[in-house]
Amino acid sequence: MGMTASTSSSSRLRPPWSSDPEEQAWLDAAKAGSLEALDALLRRHQPWVFNLALRMVWRREVAEDATQEILLKAVTHLGTFEQRSKFSTWLYRIAVNHLLNVRQSEMEERRMTFADMGRSLDECADSDLPDESQAPIGHGLLVEEAKLGCVTAMLMCLDRRQRLAFILGEILGITSEQGGEVMDVSPDNFRQLLGRARADLYQFMHDKCGLVNTANPCRCTKKAGAFMRHGWLDPQHRRFTAERLAAVRDVAPDRLAELEDLQRAYAAIYRDAPLSSAPAIVARLRAALETSRLEAG
């Protein structure tokens, strides 16, 4: 198998559940011991696993650790994968189980409700951004980082199962059948989880967010400076706008057709967010595997 060409094609962003004839070849070769094939297989899915983790835990470094642990579990147990389901289903079931049980982030430890978040936004007085010539990045990026931080913080007000259903179904665009398989529930139960998450999240956005309801006074341009003042936004260490690969809407399946017109505006905010580049996790795993092989030899 020509792994140079295959590895190059693995860098193309494709939805994790899309048909991929190369994936089966990579899987077979990886199970036979090819590190190059394993590398290509993991690189195919790493961005999606990382972005799922980032939206689940909010803090970038925690998401990086979770992604590495998920991929390591997949590598460790690859020999037991009997291919009774698609590889993507098996891998994201590992990811879901890990993320449901991973240690709580500081956002979760606060047990923040939508009411708590509403009060925090109200108490966070609007503030002008610093002079652009004195800032390390432009105002546009600061405002985008503030927006993405805020809408991701809203996700933290959902419980973990609802949050997972929303990220998988609304943002990454998987079907209820796929979501049910991954979360080990029926398609109907997955739809119920997603429906409750939408209802709670979109009601809050309708009541607070100026992006979807112009009657609301909250504006990202005014909150960005306030978030910086409170230490919630660090221009030097951006969580959500660093290393952008693409907009989620451009690479994930579109499920907006099933929503009412007003709901589409809310969902679009999440799908307009970037699919962020993951750190070099696969490279680190491969280096570790190569080292262990050398030591064993």
Contact yes or no for 273/248 (Cβ under 8 A): yes
Residue 234: predicted pLDDT: 86
Query: pLDDT, tens digit, for every residue of 66-97?
Result: 999 999 999 999 999 988 889 999 999 999 99
Tell me the pLDDT band of 246, cut-offs 50, 70 and 90: low
3-state secondary structure of 156: coil
| Stretch 251-273: mean pLDDT | 73
DSSP per-residue letters across 220-256: HHHHHHHHHHHTS--TTS-SSSSSEEEEHHHHSPP-G
> What is this structure's pTM?
0.82
| Stretch 280-286: mean pLDDT | 82
- % of the chain at pLDDT higher than 70: 87
Q: 218 forms bridges with which residues in the sheet?
A: 209
Element (H, E) at 276: strand 274-276
Residue 7: predicted pLDDT: 36
Residue 52: predicted pLDDT: 94
Please state the separation of Cα 62 from the chain's center in Å.
12
Q: Among 198, 122, 121, which Cα is nearest to 155's?
A: 198
Q: What is the pairing mode between strands 274-276 and 244-247? A: antiparallel
- Written as one letter, the residue type at 14 is R
Spell out the domain ranges in the chain: 21-296
Residue 173: predicted pLDDT: 87
Query: Could you tell me which residues come within 8 angstroms of residue 282 by beta carbon, excluding any fewer than 6 positions away?
Result: 39, 42, 43, 46, 71
Q: Which residue has the higher pLDDT, 152 or 253?
A: 152
Q: Is 101 exposed, middle or buried (0-12, 13-18, 19+ CB in 10 A)?
A: exposed
> How many degrees, rounded to 5, is the angle at CA 19 between CA 182 and CA 170?
45
